[in-house]
Amino acid sequence: MRGIEDAIARLCDPTAEVSAHYVIAPDGKLWQLVAEDQRAWHAGAGAWAGQSDINSRSIGIELVNSGAQPFPEPQMACLAGLMRGLMGRWDIPAHRVIGHSDMAPERKQDPGPRFDWRRLACAGLAVWPEGLGQDHNLQRSLDQIGYPPAMPQYRLQAFRYRFLPTAKGPETEHDRRRASCVAAALKALC
C-alpha cells in the first residue's frame, strides 16, 4: 500500500477478503479494525508449529511499511506497547509471536529483513536466542522451530528474515548452526 489511507481502505473493503485487528502507521498512529475476540483475515493460508488456520488462532497487526525501508521508531514503539497489552490480555508467550513470512514462507515476505525482531525480544515480546548451535540438518531444525512445509529455499528465506536478516545465497553452515540454536532455545521454552 502507498500509505495508511490505502491500507485501511483495503483492509475494510469486504471484496478484498483481507482484514486485520490493528494497523499501525509509520508515525505510530494506531487503528483497531476488528475486535480482538473476532476473527480477522490477515494471515491467509499458512501454518505454524503444526497448527493451521492461523486466522482463527491469532491477532493480526499490520504495519504500514513496504519493507524497503527501516521501520520508524514511532511505529516500533507503538507496536511494542500494543504487543505488551495483547500478550498480557491473551496470555501469549513470546515464542508464539510470528510474522507473516514465518507462517506462509512461499506467499509472504513481511515483515521482512528490516524488521527489528531483536528489539522486540529484548523487550520480552519475541524470541531471539543469541549464539550458534550444532551443525544439524537445516530443514529438521526449521520443522522444530515451527515453520510449515514449503520449498526449502522459501523456508530458508523466512528463517533468515527473522534470525539472520543480512544473510544471502545458498544454505550455509552458519544458517544450520543458527537454526539449531533457535530450535534448542524454543524447545527449552515449551
| 31-52 per-position pLDDT tens digit | 999 999 999 988 888 999 999 9
pLDDT at 146 over 90: yes
Average the pLDDT over 87-100 and give the result: 97
CATH number for the domain harbouring residue 152: 3.40.80.10
CA-based nearest residue to 105, from 164, 146, 142, 155: 155
Average the pLDDT over 150-174 and give the result: 97
Structural domains counted in the chain: 1
Q: What CA–CA distance (Å, rounded) separates 17 from 171?
A: 36
Mean pLDDT of the chain: 95
pLDDT at 8 over 80: yes
Question: For position 1, what pLDDT does the model report?
Answer: 61
Average the pLDDT over 12-26 and give the result: 93
Which residue range(s) make up the domain with 34? Answer: 4-189
Which residues does the annotation mark as catalytic?
62
Listing DSSP states for 39-75 in one string gives: ---SS-S-EETTEE-GGGG---EEE---SSSPPPHHH
- Within 10 Å of residue 89's Cβ, how many Cβ atoms? 10
Average the pLDDT over 134-149 and give the result: 97
The percentage of the chain sitting over the pLDDT mark of 90, rounded to a whole number, equals: 87
Q: What CA–CA distance (Å, rounded) separates 43 from 54?
A: 6
DSSP 37: T
Residue 21 burial (10 A CB sphere; 0-12, 13-18, 19+): buried
Question: For position 3, what pLDDT does the model report?
Answer: 80
Q: Indicate the pTM of the whole model.
A: 0.93
pLDDT at 83 over 70: yes
